[in-house]
A = this chain, B = another copy of it.
Amino acid sequence: MNFSINTDVLLNNLLVSQKALSTKTPAPYLQGIKLEVYQNELVLITSNSDIAIKLSIKDESLSVERTGEALIPGRVFVDFIRKLDKGSVEISVVDNNVLRIHSHNTDLSLNLQNVDDYPEINFVMNDTPIKLDSKIMKGIIRQTTFATSNIENRPILTGVNIKVEKNHLLAIATDSFRLSQKQIDIKDEFENMNVVIPGRSLDELIKVLELDLEEILIHLNHKSILFEYGNILFQSRLLEGNFPETGRLIPTDFPIIIKFKTDDLAVAIERASLLSSKDNLNSIVKLYLKPDNVVEITSNSPEIGKVIEEVYPVEKAIGTPLKIAFSSKYFLDALKTFNSENVYVKFTGEIRPFVIEGDDDPDLIQLILPVRTE
């Protein structure tokens, strides 16, 4: 194996590649990057227990003298390429088990692992992938993944449930204290799909979707899902099991509806949450819709003090006065998913789940369970 390539081109691809690099693993080969060098193509493969990434590089700066493949230590290779001067880098295997990296006055030799140790990874493409606008895919991930559970006692809740029926896509995440649901209509009709993708995989996928490309293709298989994005194949395992039926959890009748300017509400809750607890994780704030249509957001810590925020709804609230308490973190997480200038907070009662919706975010629902206070 012997080739040269522009250093920046290699680095930009490695930065994608390393998203699937294991740093802590009992299997040392998963800390490696598999290089496959063909006549006009360099392929980088990385994988960990959740995801696998395959990058195909066919850059004009790639010049291949000898094809071949190698398994190289990932972290040190990426760090090194990152520190190289601009220009070209030559990479070759010498003495069968040493990778030589040469650029300008720099000469690095890396001990190779046995490439035969690397597992065969099947990146399974099918003929009828689902086509999505990549901005929409990023939106789905951003608006739902945060609501997955990070506790492993109900593994299925650590994933986002994505269902496609005809030209309709539904994405749902819930940790059983809150729920995020996004619906979108897609252009064409595709085969039905109902999968649960690990939230961790989607957190990595969204970082990869940085190229200026319009489209992402989704190939579904039995145990995995493959996202095709330009020269990137990003494959994730799927979670097994049945995602809970959440449709009936979302109320449809809301006797109380308050319309807020999103920023006003966010900043009031942020300030109120400063008081409640040191880590802000379990910081409970109270919302009180007063008869005079002013909303008070309050929080109280016997040791430190109390805060009262007055927020003026954009228009007269629908419904009766109401007092409700909730996690400020959950509320702020949910608010951040909206692009809307105004949001509607919709209640069915003081101890019933409530819903946030936005003017300019059609088909996005954020649901939060209130907490009981004394």
The residues of A with any CB-CB pair to B shorter than 8 Å are 73, 76, 79-80, 83-85, 98-99, 105-111, 267-268, 270-271, 274-275, 303-312
Contact = CB atoms under 8 A, between A and B. Distances in A.
Contact of A307 (B106, B308, B310): B106
Contacts of A107: 307-310
Given A105-B310, A105-B311, A105-B312, A305 B110 contact: yes
A309 B311 CA distance: 63
B85 A304 contact: no
| Most chain B C-beta atoms within 10 Å of own C-beta, residue among A73, A105, A305, A308 | A305
A274 B83 contact: yes
A306 B110 CA distance: 7
Contact of A267 (B76, B85, B98): B85
B109 A305 contact: yes
B80 A111 contact: no
| Most chain B C-beta atoms within 10 Å of own C-beta, residue among A83, A267, A310 | A83
A275 B76 CA distance: 7
A12 to B, nearest CB: 19
B305 A108 contact: yes
25 contacts: A73-B305, A76-B275, A76-B304, A79-B274, A80-B307, A83-B270, A84-B271, A99-B305, A105-B309, A105-B310, A106-B271, A106-B307, A106-B308, A106-B309, A106-B310, A107-B310, A108-B275, A108-B305, A108-B307, A108-B308, A109-B305, A109-B307, A110-B304, A111-B303, A111-B305
